[in-house]
Amino acid sequence: MMRVGLVDATLVNGVFGDPLLLLQIGHQKRCLLFDLGYHGPLSARTAHQVTDVFISHAHVDHICGFLWLMRCRIGHYPSCRIFGPPGLAKNITGMIDGILWDRIGDKAPHFDIYEVHGNHLHHWQIAAGSPLSAALDVRAINDQIIWQETQFQIRAVTLDHTAKDCGPDNPFTPVLAYAFEPLRQVNVRKDRLRALNLCAGPWLQVLKDHVLNGVRDAEIQVEDKTFLSGELADKILLKSAGKRLVYATDLADSSENRSTLCSLAQGAHTLFCEASFMNGDKDLAGFTGHLTTKACGEIGTAAAVQHLIPFHFSGRYQALSDVIYDEVTTSCPNTRKPAA
C-alpha cells in the first residue's frame, strides 16, 4: 500500500497477479477500483465500500472479480458505478444473466454502467434479475472528464489493445486508461497551530473535510473555543494542487498509444503502467497488444512522472522480477516497486 495525496493505493494481486488497483480515500470509508481481476485478498467489507469501478476492458483477468462484487452487494446497498469501454453493459449483464435470481426480491444489487464512446458517455441502470433496457441517457464528455465531484475528477482516454496474431480481420480492441485527479489537497501548518495554541485532534480532519467540500460557515469546536471553518482554515491550512494518479494497462506499443497516454499522464505523481513482456520478448508483446519493459519505462520518462510503477508482468517471469525492474529502470530512473 502506498499513499498518494489523499488516497492509499494498493495493487491487490501484486505485480504478477490479475490487475486490480484499490484506492481508499483518506479516512472516508470509500473505495475506488481500477479493474476487477481476481478479488482474493479483498473482504466483503471492502466490496460494500466500493462506489466506483473503472474497467480498462473486459478481458477475463480484468473483470472476473465482478461476480464477487455483485454477490457481496446483495442486500440494501446503493448503486455502484462501473465505467468502461463500449460493450461493457453487455458484458456485465451477460455475467448477471448467468445467475438464477428468482428469490432476490428487493435485495437485487444495482449498478450504473457508463460506456465511453469517444466524446460521449452512454449510461444504463441495471438491477440484477431485471432485463437490460436501452441506454438511459447519452451525455457529452468534455475535456476527457468522465466523472467529477467536489474532491476529485476522473479522466479517461481510449487506447488500442489490438493483437496482431489473430489475422487481418482482428477487431479493434479498445482499452481505457484513467487519471484520478484530486482537485486540491490540504495540509496543516504546524507552526500556525502552535502560534494559535491549538492542539491537534480529530477536529482537524473535520476542518479538512469542510474545506474540501467548500463549506466555510460550519462551526468548529476546539477545546473551549468555537471557530468558523472558513476563517480557521485560512489561518492554519495550506491548499495545494492534488497529486494525480494514472492507471494504464493492456496497450500496444504504437506511437499513437504513446502520445495519448503521455498526455494523460504528463507530470503525474504516480503512473501505474503495464509492462507485460521483457525486451527479449518484444515480438510477443507486439502480437498480443502489450507493452515491453522498455516501452513502459520510455512512457514514464516521456510523461515525466514522479513515480512509475510497472505491473501486469507475464507469469513466465516469476523468477526474474529483479531483471524486469532493471529493464524498466534503464529507460525510467523513477521506477518503483509497489510497497507491500
> Given the rule CB under 5 A, which residues bind Zn ion?
59, 61, 250
The residue behind cell 458517455 is: 121
Q: Tell me the closest approach of the beta carbon of residue 232 to Zn ion, in angstroms.
A: 48
Residues 6+ apart with CB under 8 A from 272: 9, 11, 21, 34, 245, 246, 247, 248, 249, 309, 311
Nearest-angstrom CA–CA distance, 124 and 138: 9
Residue 288: strand pairing partners: none
Between 95 and 141, name the residue whose CB sits nearer to Zn ion.
Answer: 95
What is each CA distance from 54 to 26, 65, 165, in whole angstroms? 19, 13, 27
By beta-carbon proximity to Zn ion, the closer residue of 78 and 94 is: 94
Nearer to Zn ion, 17 or 109 (CB): 17
In whole angstroms, the minimum distance from the beta carbon of 307 to Zn ion comes to: 22
What does the block give as the cell for 169?
Answer: 480481420
Closest residue by beta carbon to Zn ion: 59
Give me the least distance between CB of 60 and Zn ion, in Å please. Answer: 9
Nearer to Zn ion, 250 or 253 (CB): 250
Looking at the Cβ atoms of 93 and 288, the one nearer to Zn ion is 288
Closer to Zn ion by Cβ: residue 167 or 267:
167
CA angle 157/278/299 to nearest 5° reads: 35
DSSP 112-148: EEEEEETTEEEEEEEETTS---S-SEEEEPBTTEEEE
State the nearest-atom distance from the C-beta of 263 to Zn ion, in Å.
22
The distance of closest approach from Cβ of residue 59 to Zn ion in the complex, given in angstroms and rounded to an integer, is: 4
- The least distance separating Zn ion from the CB of residue 80, rounded to whole angstroms, comes to 22
Q: Report helix, strand or coil for 7.
A: strand
